[in-house]
Amino acid sequence: MKYLSTLSAMKMLGNSSRGLLPIQKQLLYRTCVLPIALYGFQLWFFKGAPIVKNITELKKMQRRAALWITGAFRTSPSEGIEAIAGLTSITLHLHKLNGRHHLRYASIPPSHAINSLLDSQHAKNQAPHKTATSKLTAKQHTNLKSPIKDVNERLNSIRNCFNPLHPLFSPGSRIVDHFSSRISFHSSSSSSDKDLYQHLQSLNLVFRSS
């Protein structure tokens, strides 16, 4: 597979004693190998699909990458070296990408062809296709295994809840507020920098009092 050949070629860039740093190896793996390996995963990663074989191959790929990043022994446990290398479990990573992929359908244009396959409440005024989920019988809907069905279930669970006055959106409650005793600021010795520092301090007091 293409991602395995790419991973094998990347091993020439460095080993455990010289060459690239581990953080650089991790960055290369996440930006170059993972997008190739997971391209089009929506076609086979959905509820009810036979995904065991593909997941097994992807786990082998990530184990080889983690061994290359950390320089660990081949007998090291996969979960441990993945944690040390800073890599998310491939299964959890797929679930995260799949959830984002489903939510993206909520913002596609009204003229997109996918809308005609969704339920009527998500079709955005498009006429339903003859194979749309809204035209399926209850038995057909139960037996259906498709990414479109998963998208419908995710979109049905979306609730437009937004609180503009949530405490997390208000000033304060930051690192400086929680750990003020552990943070100190030292101004420069030059007079111009001191004036700038005093000006910023006065602005800070104005914002806090408003």
Q: Which two structure tokens, joined as six digits, stand for 98?
A: 């799949």
Q: What is the tally of structural domains in the chain?
A: 2
Domain shared by 118 and 93, yes or no: no
3-state SS class at 14: strand
**Quick check: is 204 in a domain?**
no
- The reported pLDDT for the residue numbered 19 is 67
Site of tokens 């065991």: 52
Query: CB under 8 Å to 120, separation ≥6 — which residues?
Result: 128, 134
134: number of CA atoms within 13 Å, CB side? Answer: 15
Q: Which regions in the chain score pLDDT beneath 70?
A: 1-4, 6-19, 159-164, 166-177, 183-197, 199, 203-210
Query: pLDDT digits over 138-175, tens only?
Result: 887 788 888 888 888 888 777 666 666 766 666 555 66
Site of tokens 């750990």: 179
Domain shared by 38 and 9, yes or no: yes
Domain shared by 127 and 66, yes or no: no
Q: Which two structure tokens, joined as six digits, stand for 174?
A: 């930051």
**Quick check: is 180 in a domain?**
no
Site of tokens 């020439």: 12
For residue 145, what are the domain limits? 109-156
- The reported pLDDT for the residue numbered 52 is 92
- The reported pLDDT for the residue numbered 124 is 81
**Quick check: is 74 in a domain?**
yes
Domain shared by 76 and 21, yes or no: yes
**Quick check: is 18 in a domain?**
yes
- The reported pLDDT for the residue numbered 116 is 85
Site of tokens 């038995």: 139
Domain shared by 97 and 9, yes or no: yes
The model carries a pTM of 0.63
**Quick check: is 69 in a domain?**
yes
Domain shared by 45 and 116, yes or no: no
**Quick check: is 7 in a domain?**
yes
Q: Which of 97, 186, 101, 208 is nearest to 147 (CA)?
A: 101
d(CA 60, CA 142): 34
